[in-house]
Amino acid sequence: MGSIPIGSTKHPNLEALSLASKAPHGAFGVFVACASRRCRFCACSFRIDCVTTAASTLSPLPPALRSWRWRIFVSTWLCYAGYYFCRRPYSIAKAEIGRELHWQATDLAAVYAAYLLAYTLGQFTSGAIGPRLGPRKMLLGGITLSIACSIAFGFTDSLLWFIALMFVNGVAQATGWSNSIGTMAAWFRREERGTVMGVWATNFQVGGVAAAAFAAWMLPRHGFRFAFWSGALVLAGVGIVVFLWQRNRPEDVGLPGIVDDENPASSGGNATPKWSRNTWTTVLLIGFAYFGMKFIRYALWSWAPFFLEKNLHLKGDDAGYVSTLFDLCGIVGVVATGWLSDKLFHGRRALVSFIMVLGVCAATLLLFTIGAQSVTGFAVSIGLIGFTLYGPDALLTGAGAMDVGGGRGAVRASGIISGIGSAGSVVQELVIGKMYDSAHGSITPILATLLGSAVFTAACVGAIVWRNSRGASDM
């Protein structure tokens, strides 16, 4: 339907719009209407040229709330970044562990597959019980359990014990993302989320880079056992910050709750609202897109150092350092994508994500073409993949999950999306380990598989964009 200028009598809720523009902030929630938004008062998909209301500019927040929001941002950012110090050491030390303990690539894959399987199941569990227990208990419990597993890794040479401990660590690590997202959703408004979450979501790039570099530095100096132990020490320090600064919602410290434009009482109570069929469809499409993204991301996290050492003949620590280009370039990509989502695409997260995912397709094609031939080709390709992948990865599962689930449903939406996505990380570990052994060390079939995963992801995000154009979703 075409645009309806202000003053037209064609729109049935024009009177409501007029009232909203005169109402004090909070009476109708935060009302924003522009060329890229559908009507907030009814189900129609008409466009408004421009509406300026009392709430179209976000109202200032009390100083105490602003101060607490900084603590929440910092504590949850450090929390999720810190999780990687008990997650990345195994990937960085994989070749060294195989050499020292005489394990084949299939054995190494089985260990990490146990982690990824538990992580996948844990995402669904966390999304279900997180709203009941609250993010604070879930995060502190997950941090404690992950530290215990990392310490135990250093005291065993048994394949079975490694698999068992990795499974427990996966359950612990699964508490991180959805409960951090749930915390942020209770403290930040929709109109802020693209930019805020674009910066906040650098936690898993910075955490991934820092943890990988730290483990790579420890590996040749003290061996793989100290890579696990030192990571546990870092996460313990982060846990102290989370204990002191993280709170589930403003009401927990006696402050007024954040008013959400689509969920006026988003911070009040723990009940999760029911979802419509369109909401479920959008959540599932994001989840399937995340499956493809996580297939690629975890394939490069888990196997890039291994391939660089085994196939391109770098030393173990150098392979670890080169592999961090994937995360370093991702930091720039995720901030740029979040900013573009709010400033140029007016909160249309699916469209900017689709454009970036097309870039992922091009970058994985480049990796397939030149990645197996030289260290330089491999490094440039994974850097481009990181830049184009991390933006939609963070945007759809961070701000997107908040928008679709709402303030009270963000933990559940994030848990479901991350759970489906995490299945991709499990599949890649099993498939790539087997492919590598079956192909007698060739990585060409593996790189072709990454390209196929990128195309699948583009199809899923494209479906969300199409549904947006039909008014079936609002992302």
Same domain, 27 and 164: no
Same domain, 8 and 136: no
Type of residue found at 140: L
3-state helix, strand, coil in the chain (%, to 5): 75, 0, 25
Strands 47-48 and 3-4: parallel
Output DSSP code: residue 258: P
Tokens for 309, please give them: 């050492």
Which residue, among 177, 175, 33, 176, has the nearest Cα to 474 in the 3D structure? 33
**Residue 100, φ and ψ in degrees, nearest 5:** -70, -35
This prediction has a pTM of 0.67
Rounded Cα–Cα distance for residues 68 and 257 (Å):
12
Same domain, 50 and 103: no
DSSP string, 379-442: HHHHHHHHHHHHHHHHHHHTHHHHHHHHHHHHHHHHHHHHHHHHHHHHHHHHHHHHHHHHTTT-
Same domain, 208 and 129: yes
Beta-bridge mates of residue 48: 4
Rounded Cα–Cα distance for residues 114 and 319 (Å):
24
Residue ending a domain, among 40, 59, 78, is 59
Same domain, 173 and 124: yes
Residue ending a domain, among 16, 32, 59, is 59
Rounded Cα–Cα distance for residues 397 and 468 (Å):
17
Q: Is residue 370 part of a domain?
A: yes
Looking up tokens 């420890």 gives: 218
Let me know: does 183 contact 413? Beta carbons within 8 Å.
no
Same domain, 48 and 197: no
Same domain, 441 and 426: yes
Q: Is residue 460 part of a domain?
A: yes
Tokens for 409, please give them: 């449903």
The CATH number that applies at residue 176 is 1.20.1250.20
Same domain, 23 and 156: no
Same domain, 42 and 77: no
Cα torsion 59, 63, 69, 74: sign? positive
Same domain, 92 and 17: no
Total domains in the chain come to: 2
Q: Is residue 122 part of a domain?
A: yes
Domain hosting residue 48, numbered range: 1-59
How would you write the pLDDT of the chain (475 residues) with one tens digit per residue?
443 333 333 343 434 433 333 333 333 333 333 333 344 333 333 332 333 333 345 678 888 999 999 999 999 999 999 999 999 899 888 888 988 998 888 898 889 889 988 988 888 888 778 778 899 999 999 999 999 999 999 999 999 999 999 999 999 999 998 899 889 988 988 777 767 877 887 888 789 889 988 998 998 888 899 999 999 999 999 999 999 999 999 999 999 887 654 444 444 445 556 778 888 898 899 999 999 999 999 899 888 988 998 888 888 778 888 888 998 898 888 878 777 776 776 667 788 889 999 999 999 999 999 988 899 999 999 999 999 998 888 777 776 777 776 656 777 787 788 888 888 988 888 889 889 888 888 899 999 999 999 999 999 999 999 988 887 776 6
Same domain, 356 and 464: yes
